[in-house]
A and B are shown apart, each in its own frame.
Chain A
Amino acid sequence: MSDRKTERLINLTLALLATKRYLKKSEILANVFGYEGTQEAKERMFERDKDDLRSLGIEIEVGDLDPFFEDEPGYKIPQKSYELNVPNLTGRELALISIAANFWNDSVLAPNAQSGIRKLQSLGIPATLDFEFRMKYRFENPTFVLEQLTKAIGQKSRVSFDYDSTSLKERHLEPYRIVFWNGYWYLIGMDLDRAAVRLFKLSRFLGELTLSKKKNEFEIPLDFNVADHLPKVNVEIVKSATIRIRKEAGILLRNRGQLISEENDFGTYEIAYENEVTFLRELIWHGVNVQIVEPAELKSALLDLLNGVLK
Chain B
Amino acid sequence: MSESALDRTARALDLVPYLLEHQGISIPELAEAFGVSEKQINDDLVLIHMCGLPGYTPLELIDMFYEDGYVTVSDPQSFKKPRSMNKIEMTSLLVSLDLLKSLRTDDVAKEIEALKIKLQENMRFENPFVVVQNMENTEMVEAIERAIAKSTLLRINYASGTKDKTSVRDILPIEIYVANGSTYLNAWCQSSKGDRTFRLDRILSYEIIEGSVVNETRESSVQAVDSLPIELLVSKSARNFIEDNRAIIGHIQEGEQLRIELNPIDREWLVRTILGFGGQIEVSKPKELALEVVSRARAIKESY
Asked if A69 is an interface residue, CB under 8 A from chain B, the answer is no
Asked if A121 and B130 sit within 8 Å, CB to CB, the answer is: no
Chain A binding surface SS class: helix
Within 8 A of A (CB), among B1-32: 3-6, 8-10, 12-14, 17-18, 20-22
Asked if A100 is an interface residue, CB under 8 A from chain B, the answer is yes
Q: Top 8 A-B pairs ranked by shortest CB distance? A: A308-B279, A281-B276, A305-B278, A183-B181, A133-B145, A308-B278, A116-B89, A31-B54
Instruction: Specify which of A3, A17, A79, A306 is in contact with B301 (CB 8 Å cutoff).
Output: A306
**CB of A194, distance to nearest CB on chain B (Å):** 21
Asked if B297 and A310 sit within 8 Å, CB to CB, the answer is: yes
Instruction: Using known A-B contacts A136-B175, A150-B88, determine if residue A284 contacts B276 with beta carbons closer than 8 Å.
Output: yes
Within 8 A of A (CB), among B193-214: 201-202, 204
Q: Mark A279-303, 1 if CB is under 8 A from B, else 0.
A: 0111011111101000000010001
Report the stretch among A38-46, A82-90, A207-215 that lies at the interface.
A82-90
Report the stretch among B63-71, B121-129, B219-227 that lies at the interface.
B121-129
| CA distance in complex: A230, B131 (Å) | 12
Asked if B180 is an interface residue, CB under 8 A from chain A, the answer is yes
Q: Mark B130-145, 1 if CB is under 8 A from A, else 0.
A: 1110100000001001
Asked if A250 and B164 sit within 8 Å, CB to CB, the answer is: yes
A14-B51, A100-B100, A305-B278 known, 14 other contacts, Cβ within 8 Å: A10-B13, A11-B51, A97-B115, A113-B92, A131-B108, A133-B146, A137-B178, A151-B88, A154-B126, A179-B129, A182-B134, A252-B204, A285-B273, A309-B278
| CA distance in complex: A138, B126 (Å) | 25
Asked if B93 and A100 sit within 8 Å, CB to CB, the answer is: yes
Asked if B280 is an interface residue, CB under 8 A from chain A, the answer is yes
User: Of all chain A residues, which has the CB nearest B5?
Assistant: A5
| CA distance in complex: A304, B300 (Å) | 12
| CA distance in complex: A88, B273 (Å) | 53
Asked if A56 is an interface residue, CB under 8 A from chain B, the answer is yes
Asked if A93 and B118 sit within 8 Å, CB to CB, the answer is: yes
Asked if A287 and B164 sit within 8 Å, CB to CB, the answer is: yes
Asked if B237 and A166 sit within 8 Å, CB to CB, the answer is: yes
Asked if B298 is an interface residue, CB under 8 A from chain A, the answer is yes
User: Of all chain B residues, which has the CB nearest A136?
Assistant: B175
User: Of all chain A residues, which has the CB nearest B79?
Assistant: A14
| CA distance in complex: A11, B112 (Å) | 38
B82 surroundings in chain A (CB, below 8 A): 83-84, 118-120, 122-123
A31 surroundings in chain B (CB, below 8 A): 54
Asked if A9 is an interface residue, CB under 8 A from chain B, the answer is yes
Asked if B83 is an interface residue, CB under 8 A from chain A, the answer is yes
Instruction: Specify which of A14, A58, A288 is in contact with B299 (CB 8 Å cutoff).
Output: A288
Chain B binding surface SS class: helix
Asked if A109 is an interface residue, CB under 8 A from chain B, the answer is yes
Instruction: Using known A-B contacts A32-B54, A100-B99, A306-B297, determine if residue A109 contacts B145 with beta carbons closer than 8 Å.
Output: no
Instruction: Specify which of B93, B99, B177, B274 is in contact with A116 (CB 8 Å cutoff).
Output: B93
Instruction: Using known A-B contacts A101-B96, A118-B18, A132-B146, determine if residue A226 contacts B130 with beta carbons closer than 8 Å.
Output: yes
- A residues at B contact (CB < 8 Å): 1-3, 5-7, 9-11, 13-15, 17-18, 31-33, 52, 55-58, 79, 81-89, 92-93, 96-97, 99-104, 109-124, 131-140, 147, 149-151, 153-154, 164, 166, 177-184, 203-204, 226-227, 230, 249-252, 255, 280-282, 284-289, 291, 299, 303-311
| CA distance in complex: A109, B111 (Å) | 23
Asked if B181 and A119 sit within 8 Å, CB to CB, the answer is: no
Asked if A252 and B202 sit within 8 Å, CB to CB, the answer is: yes
User: Of all chain B residues, which has the CB nearest A31?
Assistant: B54
Asked if B156 is an interface residue, CB under 8 A from chain A, the answer is no
Asked if B48 and A10 sit within 8 Å, CB to CB, the answer is: yes
Instruction: Specify which of B84, B131, B236 is in contact with A81 (CB 8 Å cutoff).
Output: B84
- Of the A-B pairs whose beta carbons lie under 8 Å apart in the complex, a sample of 26, sorted by A's number, is A10-B13, A13-B9, A14-B62, A14-B79, A15-B53, A56-B10, A57-B84, A83-B83, A84-B83, A96-B97, A96-B100, A97-B119, A100-B93, A100-B112, A119-B84, A121-B21, A124-B21, A140-B178, A153-B128, A154-B128, A184-B180, A204-B243, A250-B164, A284-B275, A308-B280, A310-B297
